């Protein structure tokens, strides 16, 4: 932040997304980091705005899965703004996927100033930079060669007209201009689309084309006075987009490039995200299984340049990490390492939407929600509240927001269980305990009987009960894992399962005591 503030106290943080289909969580990363920078600037007495640009005049270069390729391949090479909405609910492809993404951003508590690239070409935002780029085309061509090793044809302009004949923008080559009219030939073969051979002209004032990407990026920085920009590491490679656009903004547009905030890309289940292969996770898909705050926390818990791999079978663990940070923030939990405490507190502050609650929110742990859904087929709110009491988590009246959060947690845990949970998490209560009696040793049966007596003898909190399990095992010379295997066999017919202390209290200590006695008799 010191570098940012050294440029003054007034900042514009910009991010952008090519509207190539459903936006994934990595696309939200740009906007999330932009908002975080704005927050920090404001905290330190400055002013900051966040702008997000929908690059809706870019060409479609692949069909994202699972959209029908046969139906849509005729639009390859055409700008998103001119492609029909594949879902037939909006005016265009660009409008559909822009609205979908903006709605997701709003659910994440992100409200940048939204700009359309197409609108910016029509309302004159880019016009002075287009005119200057046309005049300085030879200089730009030399900069591209010098910085990035790109070699352009002799008759080349940094502008991509939309072909008046076939509608492609990816296959046109601009070779001359007269005032605001750009001459072009639709003659390029870009692999996914081929030019139709038409030759014509477009008026740059009417939004009938766009600047080449690296020139456009520099123009955008100048137009908005961008001081900070988050982007993925591929743009930061030597001779890449950022290096080239930085030189163009300085030497052609006479401005300064923004301070880069470079981040590592997000992996999904160990694989790079790809829209064409269908290996993506959208914010909407995340909201089906967990709150928006936890997705924000996923990004803020580590530094932007650190590796991030989101594994959907580990959603309960990530939610628990967020709630542990929450407990640390409110001073209920604390780690030995003070630096980690400070980091988690700040990560939590950046992750929450709006102001923090005055007191620690009462929550149903995600793993406990997964357990309850499998134990009680039609679980009610009353049953959840009863379990919270039994496990020592209900120490005051619930607020209306907390009640709604409990209901949402059950729905999200159920969705996760159906779509992403590993088989090791799924279980059913054992109907007939006699089926496992012969699998238990005498010491295991003795331990079960002792624990049954403890359960009937008083009320326990989860951690207290967990300690008792270990004490009983060791008092009998029984390895604790052997006791836990016996307990799970007795309850669900498997050798492992949910955290036993929570599980016992969720089932009810009287029910479990009776089951243990039956197995041990």
Given this model, what pLDDT does residue 452 score? 95
Residue-wise pLDDT tens digits, 422-443: 999 999 999 889 889 899 999 9
Q: How far apart are CA 509 and CA 519, in angstroms?
A: 15
Given this model, what pLDDT does residue 36 score? 95
Distances (CA, A) of 304 to 104, 156, 232, 419, 464: 21, 38, 10, 29, 39
Q: How far apart are CA 412 and CA 394, in angstroms?
A: 21
| Residue carrying structure tokens 């910016």 | 120
Given this model, what pLDDT does residue 274 score? 83
Is-contact 229 256, C-beta < 8 A? no
Given this model, what pLDDT does residue 279 score? 84
Residue-wise pLDDT tens digits, 395-418: 999 999 999 999 999 999 999 999
Identify the CA nearest to 188 among candidates 206, 205, 212.
212
Given this model, what pLDDT does residue 420 score? 96
Least confident interval from 137-141, 373-377, 417-421: 373-377
Q: How far is CA 351 from the centre of its chain?
A: 12
Using the 8-state DSSP alphabet, how is residue 280 labeled? Answer: -
* Whole-number average pLDDT of the chain: 95
Tell me the mean pLDDT in the region 172-180: 97
Cis previous bond, 66, omega within 30: yes
Q: How many Cβ atoms sit within 10 Å of the Cβ of residue 392?
A: 14
Percent of all residues in the chain with a pLDDT value above 70, rounded to a whole number: 100
Residue-wise pLDDT tens digits, 77-125: 999 999 999 999 999 999 999 999 999 999 999 999 999 999 999 999 9
Identify the CA nearest to 490 among candidates 518, 464, 470.
518
Tell me the mean pLDDT in the region 158-167: 98
- Please return the burial class of 46, using the count of CB atoms within 10 Å of its CB with bins 0-12, 13-18 and 19+: middle
Query: How does strand 228-232 pair with strand 259-263?
Result: parallel
pLDDT at residue 491 greater than cutoff 80:
yes
- Residue 480: pLDDT band with limits 50, 70, 90: very high
Is-contact 145 70, C-beta < 8 A? no
pLDDT at residue 490 greater than cutoff 80:
yes
> Between helices 400-419 and 366-375, what is the axis angle to 10°?
70
Q: How far apart are CA 346 and CA 415, in angstroms?
A: 30
Using the 8-state DSSP alphabet, how is residue 189 labeled? Answer: B
Given this model, what pLDDT does residue 1 score? 84
Identify the CA nearest to 38 among candidates 53, 49, 27, 51.
49
Q: How far apart are CA 75 and CA 60, in angstroms?
A: 7
- Residue 278: pLDDT band with limits 50, 70, 90: confident
- Residue 335: pLDDT band with limits 50, 70, 90: confident
Going along the chain from its start, the domains and CATH numbers come out as 2-121+214-269 (3.40.50.620), 127-137+146-213 (no CATH), 283-351 (no CATH), 366-421 (1.10.10.770), 433-520 (1.10.10.350)
DSSP per-residue string spanning 454-467: HHHT----HHHHHH
Q: In what order do the strands lie in the sheet with 266-268?
A: 271-272, 266-268, 308-310
Identify the CA nearest to 209 among candidates 161, 156, 159.
161
Given this model, what pLDDT does residue 336 score? 79
- Residue 334: pLDDT band with limits 50, 70, 90: confident
Residue-wise pLDDT tens digits, 6-39: 899 999 999 999 999 999 999 999 999 999 999 9
Tell me the mean pLDDT in the region 460-478: 94
């Amino acid at each position: 932040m010191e570098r940012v503030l050294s440029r003054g106290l007034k900042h514009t943080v910009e991010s952008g997304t090519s509207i190539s289909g459903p936006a994934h969580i990595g696309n939200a990363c740009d906007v999330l980091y932009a908002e975080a920078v704005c927050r920090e600037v404001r905290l330190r007495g400055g002013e900051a705005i966040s702008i997000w640009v929908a690059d809706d005049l870019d060409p479609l270069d692949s069909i994202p899965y699972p959209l029908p390729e046969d139906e849509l391949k005729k639009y390859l090479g055409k700008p998103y703004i001119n492609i029909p909405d594949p879902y037939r609910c909006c005016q265009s492809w660009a409008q559909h996927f822009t609205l979908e993404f903006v709605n997701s951003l709003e659910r994440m508590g992100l409200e940048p100033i939204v700009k359309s690239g197409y609108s910016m070409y029509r309302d004159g935002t880019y016009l002075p930079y287009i005119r200057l780029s046309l005049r300085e085309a030879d200089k730009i061509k030399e900069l591209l060669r010098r910085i990035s090793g790109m070699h352009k044809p002799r008759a080349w302009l940094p502008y991509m007209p939309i072909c008046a004949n076939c509608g492609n923008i990816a296959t046109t080559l601009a070779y001359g201009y007269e005032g605001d009219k750009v001459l072009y030939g639709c003659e390029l073969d870009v692999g996914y689309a081929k030019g139709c051979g038409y030759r014509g002209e477009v008026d740059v004032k009417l939004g009938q084309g766009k600047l080449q990407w690296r020139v456009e990026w520099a123009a955008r920085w100048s137009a908005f006075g961008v001081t900070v920009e988050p982007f993925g590491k591929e743009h930061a490679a030597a001779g890449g987009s950022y290096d080239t656009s930085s030189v163009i903004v300085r030497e052609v547009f006479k401005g300064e490039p923004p301070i880069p905030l470079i981040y590592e890309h997000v992996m999904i289940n160990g694989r790079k995200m790809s829209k064409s292969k269908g290996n993506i996770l959208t914010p909407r898909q995340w909201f089906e299984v967990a709150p928006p705050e936890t997705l924000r926390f996923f990004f803020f818990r580590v530094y932007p340049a650190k590796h991030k791999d989101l594994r959907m079978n580990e959603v309960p663990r990530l939610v628990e990490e967020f709630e542990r940070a929450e407990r640390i923030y409110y001073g209920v939990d604390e780690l030995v390492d003070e630096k980690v405490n400070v980091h988690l507190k700040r990560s939590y502050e950046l992750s929450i939407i709006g102001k923090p609650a005055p007191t620690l929110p009462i929550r149903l742990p995600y793993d406990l929600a997964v357990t309850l859904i499998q134990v009680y087929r039609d679980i009610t709110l009353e049953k959840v509240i009863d379990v919270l009491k039994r496990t020592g988590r209900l120490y005051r009246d619930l607020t209306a927001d907390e009640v709604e959060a409990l209901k949402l947690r059950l729905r999200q845990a159920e969705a996760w269980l159906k779509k992403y949970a590993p088989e090791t998490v799924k279980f059913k209560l054992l109907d007939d305990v006699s089926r496992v009696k012969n699998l238990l040793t005498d010491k295991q049966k003795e331990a079960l009987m002792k624990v049954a007596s403890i359960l009937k003898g008083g009320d326990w909190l989860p951690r207290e009960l967990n300690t008792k399990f270990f004490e009983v095992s060791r008092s009998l010379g029984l390895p604790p894992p052997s006791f836990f295997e016996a307990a799970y066999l007795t309850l669900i017919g498997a050798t492992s399962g949910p955290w036993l202390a929570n599980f016992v209290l969720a089932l009810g200590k009287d029910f479990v005591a009776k089951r243990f006695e039956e197995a041990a008799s």
